Amino acid sequence: MTSNRRILPILALSAASALALAGCSGTSAPSGSGGGDGGRLQVVASTDVYGQIAGEIGGDAIDVTSIITSASQDPHSFEATAQDQLAVSRADLIIENGGGYDAFMDALIEATETDAPVVTAVEFSHDWPENAGHADEDGDDHAHDHAEDETPGTDASGGDGHSEDDHAGHDHVEGFNEHVWYDPHTIEHVAEAIADELSALAPADADVFEANATAFIEQIGGLETSLAGIEASDAGAGVFVTEPVPVYLTTAAGLVNETPEAFSEAVEEGQDVPPATLLEALGLIESGSVRVVIANSQTGGAETTQVIDAAKSRDIPVLEFSETLPEGQTYVSWMQQNIEELAGALAP
Protein backbone atom coordinates (compact mmCIF):
# COMPACT_ATOMS: atom_id res chain seq x y z
CA MET A 1 0.00 0.00 0.00
CA THR A 2 2.19 2.76 -1.24
CA SER A 3 2.21 5.71 -3.59
CA ASN A 4 -1.03 4.89 -5.39
CA ARG A 5 -2.95 5.62 -2.21
CA ARG A 6 -4.22 9.17 -2.01
CA ILE A 7 -2.29 11.48 0.30
CA LEU A 8 -3.71 14.88 1.26
CA PRO A 9 -1.69 17.52 -0.64
CA ILE A 10 0.30 19.92 1.49
CA LEU A 11 -1.42 22.97 0.06
CA ALA A 12 -4.85 21.54 0.77
CA LEU A 13 -3.81 20.66 4.29
CA SER A 14 -2.43 24.13 4.87
CA ALA A 15 -5.57 25.76 3.57
CA ALA A 16 -7.81 23.54 5.67
CA SER A 17 -5.88 24.27 8.85
CA ALA A 18 -4.77 27.88 8.40
CA LEU A 19 -7.67 29.30 10.38
CA ALA A 20 -7.19 26.83 13.24
CA LEU A 21 -3.47 27.57 13.44
CA ALA A 22 -4.04 31.30 13.32
CA GLY A 23 -6.59 31.09 16.12
CA CYS A 24 -4.25 29.09 18.35
CA SER A 25 -0.92 30.69 17.48
CA GLY A 26 -0.98 32.93 20.51
CA THR A 27 -0.75 29.99 22.91
CA SER A 28 1.34 27.60 20.87
CA ALA A 29 4.53 26.60 22.66
CA PRO A 30 7.66 26.98 20.53
CA SER A 31 9.63 23.87 19.59
CA GLY A 32 12.10 22.81 22.24
CA SER A 33 10.32 24.68 25.00
CA GLY A 34 8.66 21.78 26.76
CA GLY A 35 5.40 23.63 26.53
CA GLY A 36 3.04 20.91 27.80
CA ASP A 37 1.33 20.61 31.17
CA GLY A 38 3.89 20.88 33.93
CA GLY A 39 6.62 21.74 31.41
CA ARG A 40 6.57 18.26 29.87
CA LEU A 41 8.07 17.82 26.42
CA GLN A 42 5.59 17.41 23.60
CA VAL A 43 6.23 14.35 21.42
CA VAL A 44 4.22 13.64 18.28
CA ALA A 45 4.39 10.19 16.67
CA SER A 46 2.89 9.16 13.35
CA THR A 47 1.41 5.95 14.80
CA ASP A 48 0.63 4.55 18.22
CA VAL A 49 3.43 2.01 17.73
CA TYR A 50 6.06 4.74 17.97
CA GLY A 51 3.99 6.72 20.44
CA GLN A 52 3.93 3.80 22.88
CA ILE A 53 7.69 3.31 22.56
CA ALA A 54 8.29 7.03 23.17
CA GLY A 55 6.03 6.90 26.21
CA GLU A 56 8.07 4.10 27.77
CA ILE A 57 11.29 6.05 27.30
CA GLY A 58 10.04 9.51 28.21
CA GLY A 59 7.80 8.49 31.09
CA ASP A 60 6.27 11.34 33.08
CA ALA A 61 8.59 13.90 31.46
CA ILE A 62 6.71 13.87 28.15
CA ASP A 63 3.24 14.10 26.66
CA VAL A 64 2.73 11.88 23.61
CA THR A 65 0.32 12.49 20.75
CA SER A 66 -0.04 9.60 18.28
CA ILE A 67 -1.79 10.60 15.07
CA ILE A 68 -2.75 7.07 13.93
CA THR A 69 -4.42 5.30 16.85
CA SER A 70 -6.93 2.93 15.26
CA ALA A 71 -6.80 -0.18 13.12
CA SER A 72 -9.37 1.49 10.86
CA GLN A 73 -6.91 4.25 9.93
CA ASP A 74 -4.57 3.46 7.04
CA PRO A 75 -1.28 5.41 7.37
CA HIS A 76 -0.69 5.16 3.62
CA SER A 77 -3.83 7.10 2.74
CA PHE A 78 -4.43 9.01 5.97
CA GLU A 79 -5.73 12.55 5.59
CA ALA A 80 -4.31 14.76 8.30
CA THR A 81 -6.50 17.31 10.08
CA ALA A 82 -5.99 20.82 11.36
CA GLN A 83 -5.65 19.34 14.85
CA ASP A 84 -2.84 17.07 13.63
CA GLN A 85 -1.04 20.03 12.09
CA LEU A 86 -1.40 22.02 15.30
CA ALA A 87 0.08 19.11 17.29
CA VAL A 88 3.08 18.95 14.95
CA SER A 89 3.57 22.71 15.12
CA ARG A 90 3.82 22.47 18.91
CA ALA A 91 6.01 19.35 19.02
CA ASP A 92 9.40 19.31 20.69
CA LEU A 93 10.17 15.93 19.08
CA ILE A 94 8.60 14.17 16.09
CA ILE A 95 8.80 10.43 15.41
CA GLU A 96 7.86 8.97 12.03
CA ASN A 97 8.34 5.66 10.24
CA GLY A 98 9.46 7.12 6.91
CA GLY A 99 10.11 5.24 3.70
CA GLY A 100 6.77 6.40 2.27
CA TYR A 101 4.71 4.63 4.92
CA ASP A 102 3.44 7.73 6.70
CA ALA A 103 3.94 10.43 4.08
CA PHE A 104 1.35 12.58 5.81
CA MET A 105 3.98 13.32 8.46
CA ASP A 106 6.33 14.82 5.89
CA ALA A 107 3.45 16.96 4.64
CA LEU A 108 2.76 18.15 8.18
CA ILE A 109 6.42 18.87 8.85
CA GLU A 110 6.72 20.91 5.67
CA ALA A 111 3.43 22.75 6.23
CA THR A 112 4.33 23.78 9.79
CA GLU A 113 7.99 24.55 9.01
CA THR A 114 8.82 23.10 12.41
CA ASP A 115 12.43 22.97 13.52
CA ALA A 116 11.78 20.14 15.99
CA PRO A 117 14.14 17.16 15.63
CA VAL A 118 12.69 14.22 13.71
CA VAL A 119 13.47 10.55 14.42
CA THR A 120 12.84 8.57 11.22
CA ALA A 121 12.72 4.85 11.95
CA VAL A 122 13.60 3.50 8.49
CA GLU A 123 16.97 5.21 8.69
CA PHE A 124 17.97 2.73 11.40
CA SER A 125 17.23 -0.35 9.29
CA HIS A 126 20.23 -2.25 7.97
CA ASP A 127 18.26 -2.56 4.71
CA TRP A 128 17.86 1.19 4.24
CA PRO A 129 19.67 1.99 0.96
CA GLU A 130 21.78 4.77 2.45
CA ASN A 131 23.22 2.43 5.07
CA ALA A 132 25.27 0.24 2.74
CA GLY A 133 28.81 0.05 4.07
CA HIS A 134 28.02 1.54 7.48
CA ALA A 135 28.33 -0.67 10.56
CA ASP A 136 27.30 -0.05 14.14
CA GLU A 137 29.34 -1.07 17.16
CA ASP A 138 27.65 -4.47 17.16
CA GLY A 139 28.94 -5.15 13.66
CA ASP A 140 25.54 -4.68 12.03
CA ASP A 141 24.71 -2.26 9.28
CA HIS A 142 23.46 0.89 10.96
CA ALA A 143 21.61 3.94 9.88
CA HIS A 144 24.03 6.68 10.68
CA ASP A 145 27.72 7.44 10.37
CA HIS A 146 27.35 10.71 12.23
CA ALA A 147 29.87 12.83 14.00
CA GLU A 148 30.74 12.37 17.66
CA ASP A 149 27.79 13.25 19.93
CA GLU A 150 25.58 13.83 16.89
CA THR A 151 22.16 12.22 17.01
CA PRO A 152 19.72 11.57 14.15
CA GLY A 153 17.82 14.70 13.22
CA THR A 154 20.60 17.07 14.35
CA ASP A 155 23.78 18.30 12.77
CA ALA A 156 27.19 18.64 14.38
CA SER A 157 26.68 22.35 14.96
CA GLY A 158 23.56 21.71 17.01
CA GLY A 159 21.07 22.78 14.37
CA ASP A 160 18.04 20.77 13.39
CA GLY A 161 19.93 19.28 10.44
CA HIS A 162 17.01 19.48 8.02
CA SER A 163 17.51 21.06 4.64
CA GLU A 164 14.60 22.12 2.49
CA ASP A 165 14.76 18.85 0.55
CA ASP A 166 15.38 16.43 3.42
CA HIS A 167 11.83 15.13 3.62
CA ALA A 168 11.41 14.84 -0.13
CA GLY A 169 13.45 11.62 0.06
CA HIS A 170 10.91 9.87 2.24
CA ASP A 171 8.71 8.71 -0.63
CA HIS A 172 8.26 4.97 -1.07
CA VAL A 173 11.58 3.36 -1.97
CA GLU A 174 11.33 0.65 -4.60
CA GLY A 175 12.42 -2.70 -3.24
CA PHE A 176 12.59 -1.53 0.39
CA ASN A 177 10.25 -2.96 3.01
CA GLU A 178 9.20 0.06 5.08
CA HIS A 179 7.51 -1.95 7.85
CA VAL A 180 10.61 -1.69 10.04
CA TRP A 181 8.80 -1.83 13.39
CA TYR A 182 8.58 -5.58 12.77
CA ASP A 183 12.39 -5.68 13.10
CA PRO A 184 13.26 -5.66 16.82
CA HIS A 185 16.90 -4.80 16.14
CA THR A 186 15.91 -1.66 14.24
CA ILE A 187 13.62 -0.68 17.10
CA GLU A 188 16.53 -0.95 19.53
CA HIS A 189 18.29 1.81 17.60
CA VAL A 190 15.09 3.86 17.34
CA ALA A 191 14.74 3.70 21.12
CA GLU A 192 18.32 4.87 21.56
CA ALA A 193 17.70 7.78 19.20
CA ILE A 194 14.53 8.80 21.05
CA ALA A 195 16.41 8.77 24.36
CA ASP A 196 19.25 10.82 22.85
CA GLU A 197 16.88 13.45 21.45
CA LEU A 198 14.88 13.72 24.68
CA SER A 199 18.12 14.04 26.65
CA ALA A 200 19.25 16.90 24.42
CA LEU A 201 15.91 18.64 24.94
CA ALA A 202 15.75 18.05 28.71
CA PRO A 203 19.27 17.37 30.05
CA ALA A 204 18.05 17.29 33.65
CA ASP A 205 16.07 14.13 32.85
CA ALA A 206 18.76 12.47 30.73
CA ASP A 207 19.52 9.78 33.31
CA VAL A 208 15.84 8.81 33.42
CA PHE A 209 15.57 8.63 29.64
CA GLU A 210 18.72 6.51 29.43
CA ALA A 211 17.54 4.14 32.15
CA ASN A 212 14.12 3.75 30.54
CA ALA A 213 15.68 3.11 27.13
CA THR A 214 18.01 0.51 28.63
CA ALA A 215 15.08 -1.28 30.26
CA PHE A 216 13.13 -1.20 27.00
CA ILE A 217 16.07 -2.54 25.01
CA GLU A 218 16.45 -5.39 27.51
CA GLN A 219 12.86 -6.34 26.70
CA ILE A 220 13.71 -6.25 22.99
CA GLY A 221 16.50 -8.69 23.82
CA GLY A 222 13.81 -11.05 25.08
CA LEU A 223 12.07 -10.85 21.71
CA GLU A 224 15.31 -11.66 19.93
CA THR A 225 15.82 -14.66 22.21
CA SER A 226 12.34 -15.92 21.33
CA LEU A 227 13.07 -15.49 17.63
CA ALA A 228 16.34 -17.39 18.03
CA GLY A 229 14.33 -20.25 19.53
CA ILE A 230 12.21 -20.48 16.39
CA GLU A 231 15.33 -20.39 14.25
CA ALA A 232 16.88 -23.21 16.25
CA SER A 233 13.91 -25.49 15.67
CA ASP A 234 12.51 -24.38 12.31
CA ALA A 235 15.20 -22.58 10.32
CA GLY A 236 14.46 -22.71 6.60
CA ALA A 237 10.72 -23.31 7.00
CA GLY A 238 8.68 -21.66 4.26
CA VAL A 239 6.16 -18.91 4.98
CA PHE A 240 3.70 -17.13 2.70
CA VAL A 241 2.92 -13.48 3.51
CA THR A 242 0.07 -11.77 1.67
CA GLU A 243 1.86 -8.45 2.28
CA PRO A 244 5.47 -7.79 3.36
CA VAL A 245 4.41 -6.39 6.76
CA PRO A 246 5.89 -9.22 8.94
CA VAL A 247 8.86 -10.18 6.77
CA TYR A 248 11.49 -8.64 9.07
CA LEU A 249 10.14 -10.75 11.93
CA THR A 250 10.00 -13.99 9.96
CA THR A 251 13.48 -13.41 8.57
CA ALA A 252 14.83 -12.83 12.08
CA ALA A 253 13.29 -16.21 12.98
CA GLY A 254 15.26 -17.90 10.21
CA LEU A 255 12.21 -18.53 8.03
CA VAL A 256 12.10 -18.28 4.23
CA ASN A 257 9.60 -16.05 2.46
CA GLU A 258 8.16 -18.18 -0.37
CA THR A 259 5.71 -15.51 -1.58
CA PRO A 260 6.00 -14.48 -5.23
CA GLU A 261 7.16 -10.88 -5.13
CA ALA A 262 4.53 -9.85 -7.67
CA PHE A 263 1.80 -11.18 -5.37
CA SER A 264 2.73 -9.24 -2.23
CA GLU A 265 3.54 -6.12 -4.26
CA ALA A 266 0.13 -6.15 -5.95
CA VAL A 267 -1.71 -6.62 -2.65
CA GLU A 268 0.35 -3.89 -0.99
CA GLU A 269 -0.38 -1.52 -3.86
CA GLY A 270 -4.10 -2.30 -3.72
CA GLN A 271 -3.99 -3.76 -7.23
CA ASP A 272 -5.26 -7.03 -8.70
CA VAL A 273 -2.81 -9.90 -8.52
CA PRO A 274 -1.91 -11.04 -12.06
CA PRO A 275 -3.66 -14.36 -12.85
CA ALA A 276 -0.38 -16.17 -13.52
CA THR A 277 1.00 -14.95 -10.18
CA LEU A 278 -2.12 -16.09 -8.36
CA LEU A 279 -1.78 -19.54 -9.92
CA GLU A 280 1.86 -19.63 -8.84
CA ALA A 281 0.88 -18.68 -5.30
CA LEU A 282 -1.83 -21.32 -5.09
CA GLY A 283 0.62 -23.87 -6.49
CA LEU A 284 3.04 -23.08 -3.67
CA ILE A 285 0.30 -23.70 -1.13
CA GLU A 286 -0.58 -27.01 -2.80
CA SER A 287 3.06 -28.09 -3.05
CA GLY A 288 3.51 -28.30 0.70
CA SER A 289 6.50 -25.95 0.73
CA VAL A 290 4.63 -23.42 2.87
CA ARG A 291 4.31 -24.13 6.61
CA VAL A 292 2.47 -20.94 7.64
CA VAL A 293 0.45 -18.24 5.87
CA ILE A 294 0.48 -14.75 7.41
CA ALA A 295 -2.13 -12.18 6.35
CA ASN A 296 -2.55 -8.51 7.21
CA SER A 297 -5.52 -8.29 9.59
CA GLN A 298 -6.27 -4.73 8.45
CA THR A 299 -6.50 -5.32 4.71
CA GLY A 300 -7.73 -8.03 2.37
CA GLY A 301 -8.93 -8.86 -1.10
CA ALA A 302 -10.20 -11.62 -3.31
CA GLU A 303 -6.76 -13.06 -4.04
CA THR A 304 -5.77 -12.97 -0.39
CA THR A 305 -8.95 -14.83 0.48
CA GLN A 306 -8.19 -17.49 -2.14
CA VAL A 307 -4.75 -18.09 -0.67
CA ILE A 308 -6.15 -18.28 2.87
CA ASP A 309 -8.88 -20.69 1.80
CA ALA A 310 -6.33 -22.87 -0.02
CA ALA A 311 -4.12 -22.94 3.07
CA LYS A 312 -6.99 -23.89 5.36
CA SER A 313 -8.05 -26.66 3.01
CA ARG A 314 -4.61 -28.21 3.48
CA ASP A 315 -4.56 -27.57 7.25
CA ILE A 316 -1.81 -24.98 6.91
CA PRO A 317 -2.00 -22.53 9.83
CA VAL A 318 -3.11 -18.99 8.94
CA LEU A 319 -2.04 -16.09 11.18
CA GLU A 320 -3.13 -12.46 11.05
CA PHE A 321 -0.70 -9.70 12.03
CA SER A 322 -1.69 -6.05 12.24
CA GLU A 323 0.11 -2.84 11.31
CA THR A 324 -1.03 -0.77 14.28
CA LEU A 325 -0.83 -1.48 17.99
CA PRO A 326 -3.71 -3.65 19.24
CA GLU A 327 -5.71 -2.17 22.09
CA GLY A 328 -4.22 -2.85 25.50
CA GLN A 329 -0.84 -3.95 24.15
CA THR A 330 2.64 -2.51 24.43
CA TYR A 331 5.09 -2.81 21.57
CA VAL A 332 6.95 -5.61 23.34
CA SER A 333 3.86 -7.57 24.40
CA TRP A 334 2.44 -7.26 20.88
CA MET A 335 5.59 -8.54 19.19
CA GLN A 336 5.95 -11.30 21.78
CA GLN A 337 2.39 -12.41 21.03
CA ASN A 338 3.16 -12.47 17.30
CA ILE A 339 6.30 -14.52 17.92
CA GLU A 340 4.45 -16.98 20.14
CA GLU A 341 1.70 -17.41 17.55
CA LEU A 342 4.33 -18.02 14.89
CA ALA A 343 6.09 -20.61 17.05
CA GLY A 344 2.79 -22.32 17.78
CA ALA A 345 1.87 -22.46 14.11
CA LEU A 346 5.20 -24.12 13.28
CA ALA A 347 4.98 -26.64 16.08
CA PRO A 348 4.39 -30.25 14.99
Return the pLDDT at 172: 60
CATH number for the domain whose boundaries are 10-222 = 3.40.50.1980
Return the pLDDT at 50: 98
More confidently predicted of 132 and 324: 324
Decide if 10-222 and 235-346 have a common fold: yes
Q: What is the architecture, at CATH level 2, of domain 235-346? A: 3-Layer(aba) Sandwich (3.40)
The pLDDT mean for the chain works out to 82
Q: What is the 3-state secondary structure (H, E, C) of the chain?
A: CCCCCCCCCHHHHHHHHHHHHHHHCCCCCCCCCCCCHHHCEEEEEEEHHHHHHHHHHHHHHEEEEEEECCCCCCCCCCCCCHHHHHHHHCCCEEEECCCCCCHHHHHHHHHHCCCCCEEEHHHHCCCCHHHCCCECCCCCECCCCCCCCCCCCCCCCCCCCCCCCHHHHHCCCCCCCCCHHHCHHHHHHHHHHHHHHHHHHCHHHHHHHHHHHHHHHHHHHHHHHHHHHHHHHHCCCEEEECCCCCHHHHHHCCCEECCCHHHHHHHHHCCCCCHHHHHHHHHHHHHCCCCEEEEECCCCCHHHHHHHHHHHHCCCCEEEECCCCCCCCCHHHHHHHHHHHHHHHHCC
Task: Please say if the pLDDT value at position 148 is more than 60.
Answer: no
Domain spans of the chain? 10-222, 235-346
Q: pLDDT band at 300, cuts 50/70/90?
A: confident
Percent of the chain exceeding pLDDT 90 equals 69
Task: Please say if the pLDDT value at position 142 is more than 50.
Answer: no
Return the pLDDT at 78: 79
The mean pLDDT of 106-126, rounded to a whole number, is 96
Return the pLDDT at 134: 54
Q: pLDDT band at 166, cuts 50/70/90?
A: very low
Task: Please say if the pLDDT value at position 25 is more than 60.
Answer: no
Return the pLDDT at 36: 52
